[in-house]
Structure 1
Amino acid sequence: METIKGVCGNIVPLKNEYFIKAQSRLDILTKPQGSLGQLEQFAARLVTIYEDEMPSIPKKAVFVFAGDHGVAEEGVSAFPAEVTPQMVLNFLRGGAGINVLARHAGADVLVIDAGVNYDFKDCPGLIQKKVVYGTKNITKGPAMSRDEAIKCVNVGIALAREYAQKGIKMFATGEMGIANTTPSSAIAAVVTGRPVKEVTGKGTGIGDADLSKKIAVIERAIAVNAPDAADPIDVLAKIGGAEIGAIAGLCLGAAQLRLPVVIDGFISTAGAVIAYGLNAMVKEYMFSAHRSYEIGHRAILEHMGLTPMLELDMRLGEGTGAAIAMTILDASLKIYREMATFQDAGVSDKS
């Protein structure tokens, strides 16, 4: 298998010539120049990523990575850990929010067990890539070993390659894992250098007292593990999660393949920032779907310089925001492909 370093070395910057070609077409469509705002920017970026002057509407998939977290035993979530496998089964039955919104977006939902503390055994539809049976409690030591963290990243890289070969040309990230806002807040604090209290929110809906406890738990985890902010794999191994690592790998794999990846909310962006730390060029292939209600999400987006497409106060995860954003990206390409030019329509332009 190609190493993470090898994948990072094969990520290339976008070619500005394609952006110029896309903008030239957008400027002769029957509208005032720039009047469709960010839709035009999205279309031009997609043309540039695909290196195709007239890209078709892509086949899409939302990758929902699932993993458990030992830190859940510290009482940092409003829900018990057994909800993780229960929700995985709900995804497979098609009954979750992501299933509804992915159907709306015309996207497949791929459910991956990266680190759930449960034996699914024979479970049709589940992509079984388990690296760990949940991470360890980060207040007592590392979430996982460095080797396990690397394996989690490689899960995402391999899936990007496999599904690109199956014709999927736009990826979206999603996740499920009770207590995963805790490692995500820890990652946010370490990579941005901000105090824990400035990047930690209420997750699934804990009260003020539990929020204070959650902040203390994260501060303790960082003190115990002393993750090296300059080494993203060290950060992932010491205070991250299996699904977070797999999301990082999907981002890297998409960038290497020159395919766009739509990043969902807080946890997905924690995975994206691990990828960004490994190679900052990965950002060129990312679309930030939305800014969630979680305060740590804003901090990571600012750190990477990503502007979210939407702000809907969402905090469900699963890839739900990314599925909605995919419909907007489709709309941008339809405008680009199907709208008449001034010449085609026989309409006089402003000159």
Structure 2
Amino acid sequence: MNTPLYQQIQDKINNKTKPLGALGLLEKLAFQVASIQNTLTPELVKPNIIVFAGSHGIASDGVSAYPSEVTPQMVLNFINGGAAINVFTRQNQIELLLVDAGVDYAFEPNEKLIDAKVNHGTKSFLRESAMTELEYKTCMEKGASLVREVKTGGCNVIGFGEMGIGNTSSASVIMSKLLNLPIEVCVGKGTGLDDNQLIKKIEILQKALQNHNNVNDNPEVVMQTFGGFEMGMMCGAMLEAARQEMIILVDGFIASVVYLCALKIDKTVKDFAIFCHQSGEKGHKLLLKYLEAEPLLQLEMRLGEGTGCAVAYPLLQSAVAFMNEMASFESAGVSQKNEL
């Protein structure tokens, strides 16, 4: 993304009736949105959040405080409108799409659930690759296809959420592998492990890494080896959203790790990404530092589901509103700062 409007965008922001920089991160946000859309009058049209759900084989190896059955149970909760992401998307008038990327459950056909099931859950990466090469490619293609469909409907801002018991383990291992970091600095308590359970989780993930020590840092191979179907699908969706020049809302730890994979596949995705919040999950702060990302919020949230995207979305609305509606010094007849 390289627009000749850059200086005009910055000048428009600077000439609003306020001291330079007085709106802080909202100014950076307005600049980024206007730059993505290549316009001095940005707009947010038909915001969408897609939540991908998938079951993880690693969940049966003792890495989570919750059983894997919670994944389909939560999908049913999403369908019934009772989850946090339902509440926040309703509050902020964001379209919510629910996708079965690979849940180990046979859902009844439902107009509120998109059936994109690749398989009934991944294999446990403690013993083998989580998915086959074909399954990985299918995830990427289905994620991209969903974004193209949403784009056709007029959407220009899209966020992604996930549901999958065990996916903080996948994300931690992928982060460790791609950034060449010790697994213990990437692993957090996920769904609420106690200290002893966290130690066990780290030991299991260390063993998994040792069992796959032949895997290099190729992001696609790493995702295939350790990822979940919902993560692979989200990766394909992020890459397609960048190709479609859409604003990409990045949620918490798992979504940020997926973004890391997408970035290593295609660095241009960086131009379109807005990091919605810093998660309470241990590895997220370190990952955001590596990515040189400034999260909009820091609320100690660690729920996933795309909730950070939904909660942060009103800040984008504020950034666009001041860009389009706030008076300039000239139009308001307000004197600018004296030169000293």
TM-score (norm: length of structure 1): 0.93
Counterpart position of 1:175: 162
Which position in structure 2 is the counterpart of 1:146?
A: 133
d(CA) in 2 for partners of 1:160 and 1:76? Answer: 32
Alignment partner of 2:7 out of 20, 41, 46: 20
* Alignment match, 1:4: none
Question: Aligned in 2, Cα 1:230/1:76: closer, same or farther, shift over 3 Å?
Answer: closer
Letter in 1 for 2:223: L
Please state whether the residue corresponding to 1:73 is helix, strand or coil.
helix
1:328 lines up with 2:315 in the alignment: yes
Instruction: Give the SS at the match of 1:262.
Output: strand
Distance 1:18 1:229 in 2: 41
1:184 aligns with 2:171: yes
Q: Could you tell me which of 261, 285, 306 is aligned with 1:274?
A: 261
Of the three residues 130, 133, 148, the one matched with 2:117 is 130
d(CA) in 2 for partners of 1:291, 1:40: 19
* Equivalent in 166, 190, 202 of residue 215 of structure 1: 202
Structure 1 residue 229 displacement after superposition: 4.1
Alpha-carbon RMSD across the aligned residues, in angstroms, is: 1.3
Match of 1:166 among 153, 158, 174: 153
Q: CA–CA distance in 1 between the matches of 2:256 and 2:181?
A: 16
Runs of 5+ in structure 1 lacking a partner? 1-13
Q: CA deviation at 1:299?
A: 2.8
CA shift digits 1:40-97 (9 cap, x unpaired): 1100110110112212232201110000001111121111111111111111111110
State the distance in 2 between where 1:229 and 1:98 align: 35
- Aligned residue in 1 for 2:192: 205
Q: Aligned AA for 2:267?
A: A
1:289 corresponds to:
276
Task: Please report how far the alpha carbon of residue 305 of structure 1 lies from its aligned counterpart in structure 2 after TM superposition.
Answer: 2.3
* Whole-Å separation in 2 of the counterparts to 1:16 and 1:226: 43
Q: Which amino acid aligns with 1:167?
A: G
Q: Is residue 78 from structure 1 mapped to residue 65 from structure 2 by the alignment? A: yes
Aligned-partner residue type, residue 25 of structure 2: Q
In the TM superposition, what is the alpha-carbon distance from 1:181 to its structure 2 partner? 0.6
Using the TM superposition, give the Cα deviation of residue 347 of structure 1 relative to its aligned residue in structure 2, in angstroms: 1.7
Matched, 1:348 2:309: no
How big is each residue's C-alpha offset from its partner over 1:124-152, in whole Å with a ceiling of 9 and x where there is no partner?
Answer: 21011111210001111100111211111
Contact 1:192 1:299 (C-alpha < 8 Å) held by counterparts = no
Q: Which residue of 2 aligns with 1:258?
A: 245
Question: Which stretch of structure 1 is more off in the superposition, 340-349 or 163-172?
Answer: 340-349
Q: 1: distance between equivalents of 2:329 and 2:197?
A: 60
Separation in 1, partners of 2:43, 2:60: 47
- Could you tell me which residue of structure 2 aligns to residue 48 of structure 1? 35
Q: Distance in 1 between matches of 2:278 and 2:39?
A: 29
CA contact (8 A) 1:91 1:99 kept: yes
2:288 corresponds to 1:305: no
Partners of 2:164 and 2:249 in 1: CA distance: 19
Distance in 1 (alpha carbons) for counterparts of 2:234 and 2:179 = 19
In 1: Cα distance, 2:109 partner to 2:268 partner? 39
Match of 2:218 among 231, 238, 245: 231
String of CA shifts for 1:245-278, please: whole Å, max 9, x gaps.
1111111011101111111011111211110110
Q: In the TM superposition, what whole-angstrom CA distance separates every residue of 1:174-232 from its partner, at most 9, and x where no partner exists?
A: 00011111101101110111111111011010111111111111111112123644311
**Whole-Å Cα distance in 2 between the matches of residues 126 and 329 of structure 1?**
27
Q: Which amino acid is 1:343 matched to? A: E
Q: Percent identity?
A: 39
Q: Do 1:113 and 1:126's aligned partners in 2 also have CA atoms closer than 8 Å?
A: yes
Change (3 A) 1:243 1:33: same
CA distance in 1, matches of 2:214, 2:175: 12
CA distance in 2, matches of 1:298, 1:85: 29
User: Please, which moves more after superposition, 221-230 or 258-267?
Assistant: 221-230
Gaps of 5+ in 2: none
3-state SS of paired residue (1:46) = helix
Q: Secondary structure of 2:114's match? A: strand
What code does the residue aligned with 2:46 have? K
Counterpart Cα distance in 1 of 2:93 and 2:8: 28
Deviation readout 1:269-314 (Å, 9 max, x if unpaired) = 1211110110122111111111111112223223322221111111
- Contact conserved, 2:177 with 2:217, CA < 8 A, in 1? no
| C-alpha separation in 2, matches of 1:57 and 1:72 | 38
How far apart in 1 are the matches of 2:285 and 2:320? Answer: 27
SS class of match (2:225)? helix
CA distance in 2, matches of 1:293, 1:308: 12
- The residue aligned with 2:144 is 157
Paired letter, 2:37:
Y
